[in-house]
Amino acid sequence: MLLMISLAGCGKEDIVTNVGKLDFDQPLKLPPLIEPTIESDGTKNFTLTMQSGETELLPGKIADTWGINGAYLGPTIRVSRGDKVSFNVVNSLNEPSTLHWHGMRLPAKMDGGPHQMVDAGETWTPHWTIDQPSATTWYHPHLHGKTAQHVYKGLAGMFIIDDEDSKKLPSEYGVDDIPLIIQDKLFTNEGQLTEDEEGVFGTLGDEILVNGTYDPYLEVKTSQVRFRLLNGSNARAYNFGFSDGRAFKLVGNDAGLLEEPVTLERFMLSPGERAEIVVEFEPGEETVLHSFSGNTGLDNGEFDLVKIVAASELEESAPVTGQLSSVPPIEAPKDARVRQFKLTMENKINDKLMDMYRIDEVVPAGATEIWEINNFGWSHNFHIHNAAFRVLDINDKPPSEYERGRKDTVFIPNGSKVRIVVEFGKHADPNFPFMYHCHLLRHEDDGMMGQFLLVEPGTESEVPTTLPNNGTSGEHQGHH
Ligand code: C2O
Ligand code: CU
Ligand code: CU
């Protein structure tokens, strides 16, 4: 049904919408900040338990959901650049899952991808040092074939990295620094989550949850508020803007702050992408964060997301101007290696489906390369693990103003050629791969994913292109 509408591109009456249906009477839920325990060497240790539970997603109706340290979604992790972190990822579900740190620079073994399965009842204990610029990252399951289902049921959370640059922006969590995890859902009449098994893109819902809240409002008390938007949806893309058309400042893309704020009225996020914006408020005013419909097949909807109400007296905070990030933009060296990727209608990359045993690319650790992605079918996006990139051009034209910063996921329109300059992480490991893939979760589960090794420069030709034992090299993954 939803597919037919998007392909036919019919008139406005056919657009999926919740506009006019909401009362905005539920206070927006805020994922709690999780407190670490501090180990003797200063490492911040977090325990994250994946569990099942029940949640009142729609008013008066109980849904079976999954969450982390709770029944739906997970806590916000917040650390600073330079911190040593460790995790106890406890799987209390009745089936295996994984937890991947989307946007994180770290050793492949700690990445939480399909090779780091955590069996039911087991605990996985990854650890690394946070070494990347401030960013709004996130965590979610990444098991091969079932990522869509596990995320849809509620396994996801935000992972904020601070540094000296980011602390100059509004930073008081829940006060003037607000996470917004946007997810579309389909519900049964009883209020249970349900999926569209047919859709070419996966489930496109007709209701919206923000931080797991239906019908939300948020009261703000400062004149400048930073919002961290995460598109945590399986397939839907959002064209964000405000109901009153107000302008706001984009200050960060997926992988970090911009050099300078960019004034915008609209921007798009496809699944997995994040943005940080700063919005200015006058005392007593109200506006609604809205998603406008588009024609990508992923954004065939018009949605009110959350009403924002400014208190009658606001604490004045300084407007955001001037330099934000002190990190230079990612530039390609003259002799940068160029790799090409072809995306197709069959959800293949370079004519192949994901194979857990096959290495598709071998990249020297720390390299900066140009990846050229050509899309021959449907809308897709492209995410690379353990990397940050800058979009060079889309069909030989500069990218939109809202996607010129550091990113780890980019929308790839149907029929387009997108070139990105990718800065890879420095952690080499010839035995454990990282992933690149479409972040439309049904496509990812269908196999629209490839594996790359990061290896010591100069050893590229020495590493095998098949992985023994499913890439786990016989090593126990995180048993306790
Ligand atoms: Cu958000 Cu490969 O993941
Ligand atoms: Cu990722
Ligand atoms: Cu796709």
pLDDT tens column, 389-448? 999 999 999 999 999 999 999 999 999 999 999 999 999 999 999 999 999 999 999 999
**Is 60 exceeded by the pLDDT of residue 292?**
yes
| 328 in any annotated domain | no
Q: Do 180 and 308 fall into the same domain?
A: yes
Going across the sheet that includes 361-364, the strands are 361-364, 449-455, 434-437, 380-384, 409-412
Do 174 and 149 share a structural domain?
no
**Tokens read off for 206:** 């007709």
* Residue listed under structure tokens 């929308």: 411
Please answer whether residues 447 and 348 qualify as being in contact, where contact means their C-beta atoms are separated by less than 8 angstroms: yes
pLDDT of residue 468: 77
| φ and ψ at residue 217, rounded to 5 degrees | -130, 160
Domain-embedded: residue 385: yes
pLDDT at 465 exceeding the cut of 90: no
If one counts the domains in the chain, the total is 3
Q: Which domain holds residue 293?
A: 3-22+169-315
Q: Do 355 and 462 fall within a single domain?
A: yes
Give pLDDT, residue 280: 98
329 in any annotated domain: no
How far is 66 from 457, CA to CA, in rounded Å? 42
- Whose Cα sits closest to atom 1 in ligand 1? 102
pLDDT of residue 46: 98
**pLDDT digits 0-9 by tens, 18-62:** 999 999 999 999 999 999 999 999 999 999 999 999 999 999 999
Rounded mean pLDDT of the chain? 94
Name the least confident of 8-12, 89-93, 252-256, 297-301.
Answer: 8-12
Q: How far apart are the first and last CA of the chain?
A: 47
Q: Which ligand has the shortest distance to the CA of 271? A: 1
- Going from the Cα of 271 to the center of ligand 2, the distance in angstroms, rounded, reads 11
Classify residue 267: in a domain, yes or no.
yes
The reply to whether 198 falls in a domain is yes
- The stretch 248-270 carries a mean pLDDT of 98
Distances (CA, A) of 176 to 41, 156, 328, 416: 32, 22, 27, 38
Residues 208, 212, 215, 221: what is their CA dihedral angle, to the nearest 10 degrees? -120
- Give the number of other Cβ atoms within 10 Å of residue 19's Cβ: 14
State the ligand closest to the CA atom of 103.
Answer: 2
Q: Is 124 helix (H, G, I), strand (E, B) or coil?
A: strand
The predicted model gives 260-265 an average pLDDT of: 98
| Ligand 1 atom with least separation from CA of 103 | 1
Q: What percent of the chain has pLDDT over 70?
A: 95
Q: How many whole angstroms from 385 Cα to the centroid of ligand 1? A: 7
Cβ atoms of 211 and 30 closer than 8 Å: yes
Q: How many whole angstroms from 231 Cα to the centroid of ligand 1?
A: 12
Tens digit of each residue's pLDDT (9 = 90 or more) over 293-315: 999 999 999 999 999 999 999 99
Q: Are 418 and 373 in contact (CB under 8 A)?
A: yes
Pocket of ligand 1 (CB under 6 A): 100, 102, 140, 142, 272, 383, 385, 435, 437, 439
Say yes or no: 111 and 59 in one domain: yes
For 309, the 3-state DSSP assignment is: strand
Q: Confidence band (pLDDT; 50, 70, 90) for 477?
A: very low
Report the separation in Å between the CA atom of 279 and the middle of ligand 2, taken as the mean of its atom positions: 28
How far apart are alpha carbons 474 and 7 in whole angstroms? 47
CATH number for the domain spanning 309: value is 2.60.40.420
In a domain, residue 323? The reply is no
For 406-449, give the DSSP string: -BSEEEE-TT-EEEEEEEE-S---SSS-EEEE--SHHHHHHT-E
pLDDT reading at 6 higher than 70: no
pLDDT at 1: 37
108 in any annotated domain: yes
Domain limit, last residue, from 266, 282, 315: 315
Average pLDDT over residues 119-135: 98
Gyration radius (Cα) of the chain, Å: 21
Final residue of a structural domain among 315, 330, 359:
315
Q: For residue 145, tell me if it sits in a domain.
A: yes
Asked if residue 67 and residue 153 are part of one domain, the reply reads yes
Q: Based on the domain organization, do 413 and 392 belong to the same domain?
A: yes
pLDDT reported for residue 464: 85
Query: Nearest ligand to the C-alpha of residue 378?
Result: 3
Residues 120 and 143 in one domain: yes
The residue written with tokens 């007296």 in the block is: 313
Residue whose CA lies nearest to ligand 1 atom number 3: 102
Predicted pLDDT at 15 = 80
Both 387 and 469 in one domain: the answer is: yes
Q: Is the pLDDT of residue 189 over 50?
A: yes
Number of the ligand 1 atom closest to the C-alpha atom of 272:
1
- Tell me 461's DSSP state: G
Residue 84 sits in the same domain as residue 197? no
One-letter identity of residue 49: T
Residues 307 and 356 placed together within one structural domain of the fold: no
Same domain (yes/no): 124, 36: yes
How high is the pLDDT of residue 469?
65
Full-model pTM? 0.95
Q: What are the beta bridge partners of residue 362?
A: 453
Which run of H or of E encompasses 338? strand 338-343
Q: Pick from 134, 164, 194: which residue ends a domain? A: 164
Distance of CA 341 to the CA centre of its chain: 21
Question: Are residues 358 and 467 both part of a single domain?
Answer: yes
**Ligand 1 centroid, distance to 437 Cα (angstroms):** 8
Whether the pLDDT of residue 223 is over 90: the answer is yes
Ligand in closest contact with the CA of 139: 1
